[in-house]
DNA sequence: CGGGACTCCTGAGGGC
DNA sequence: TGCCCTCAGGAGTCCC
């Protein structure tokens, strides 16, 4: 489940291989994603050069002189880097020469290729002209690691809201890049119950959320993100931050705060599982 | 406004 | 070993 750290790792890895590289050709294996891959994508991208690869929220932006390829990994999307080989690349094809399951797109450069693979098809790939890409990202809130995500912004945005802190942290318009896993971890580290209404938050609590948001995300990026089920980075490596999880997926396990023996509680709110310690995160 | 239900999708994992 | 069922969740939409 790629959230900000996993997308950041993906972008950093891709950069190493495709910056300033000319696109030789693009092949759509299977255009069925959340939105259909534009059929004219290969024609548009052919012979263009990737000038920049960057992350905004959980989106990946591949920039050329004219266009921006905008991609979201959804739940199971990933970009895989493969060295080009003269031989039929067996990682693209299975024994019967059929395109491997879940490979959707192939972008070939001189020495390397990147493949977009997505099991559950919740991700997408869109293409824009550079002059109109920004309005497609204009609804996004500030980056959680930026200085824009600060006390003044936070307090201003939430002071009259009755929405729970868990749900607003998941709202990409409020802050962009967090998902269910990291929000659970941030609230545990901050000692705040996920059901707390925003307007009830004290100043000190807001400061804790800001502090731990930045701390946890940075720490996860350092560890290569989290590997759950099938997340691997573009070089096939796994992250290790999942071993740092304090509450996520620890239903009925003991709280890890020293001196606290309470069991972690799981409940479903807004269709998402939330995990918290009833003692450390009192309402 | 806020939360609930539903949608897309497939594989993992539990129960029997 | 096997089948059936449920569940996971980002993000959008619709509804009350």
User: What confidence tens digit (pLDDT) does each residue in A30-87 have?
Assistant: 899 999 999 999 999 999 999 999 999 999 999 999 999 999 999 888 898 888 865 5
pLDDT band at A101 (very low <50, low <70, confident <90, very high): confident
Three-class secondary structure of residue A243 per DSSP:
helix
Q: Which residue is nearest to nucleotide B5 (CA to C1')?
A: A271
Which parts of A63-202 fold into alpha helices (H)?
151-158, 165-170, 180-190
Confidence of residue A156 (pLDDT cuts 50, 70, 90): very high
- Best CA proximity match to A36, nearest among A120, A151, A125, A161: A125
Listed as ranges, the nucleotides of chain C within 7 A of a protein C-beta are 7-12
Nucleotide nearest to A34 (CA to C1'): B8
Token output for A68 = 């921006």
Footprint of strand B on the protein (CB under 7 A): A 32, 34, 75, 101-102, 119-122, 161-164, 167, 197-198, 229, 269-271
pLDDT bin (cut points 50, 70, 90) of residue A97 is very low
């Amino acid at each position: 489940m790629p959230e900000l750290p996993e997308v950041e790792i993906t972008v950093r890895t891709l950069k190493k291989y495709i910056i300033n590289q000319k696109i030789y050709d693009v092949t759509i294996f299977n255009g069925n994603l959340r939105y259909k891959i534009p059929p004219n994508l290969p024609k548009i991208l052919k012979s263009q050069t990737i000038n920049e690869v960057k992350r905004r929220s959980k989106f990946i932006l591949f920039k050329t002189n004219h266009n921006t390829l905008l991609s979201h990994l959804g739940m199971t999307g990933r970009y895989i880097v493969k060295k080009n080989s003269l031989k039929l690349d067996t990682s693209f094809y299975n024994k019967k020469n059929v395109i491997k399951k879940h490979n959707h797109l192939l972008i070939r450069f001189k020495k390397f290729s990147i493949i977009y693979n997505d099991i559950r098809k919740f991700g997408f790939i869109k293409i824009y002209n550079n002059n109109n890409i920004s309005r497609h990202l204009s609804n996004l809130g500030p980056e959680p690691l930026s200085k824009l995500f600060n006390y003044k912004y936070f307090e201003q945005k939430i002071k009259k809201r009755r929405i729970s802190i868990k749900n607003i942290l998941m709202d990409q318009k409020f802050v962009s890049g967090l998902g269910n896993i990291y929000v659970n971890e941030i609230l545990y580290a901050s000692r705040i119950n996920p059901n707390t209404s925003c307007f009830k938050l004290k100043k000190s609590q807001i400061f804790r959320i800001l502090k731990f948001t930045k701390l946890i995300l940075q720490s996860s990026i350092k560890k290569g993100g989290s590997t759950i089920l099938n997340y691997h980075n573009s070089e096939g490596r796994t992250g290790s931050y999942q071993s740092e999880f304090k509450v996520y997926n620890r239903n009925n396990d003991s709280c890890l705060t020293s001196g606290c023996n309470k069991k972690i509680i799981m409940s479903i709110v807004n269709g998402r599982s939330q995990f918290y310690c009833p003692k450390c995160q009192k309402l």
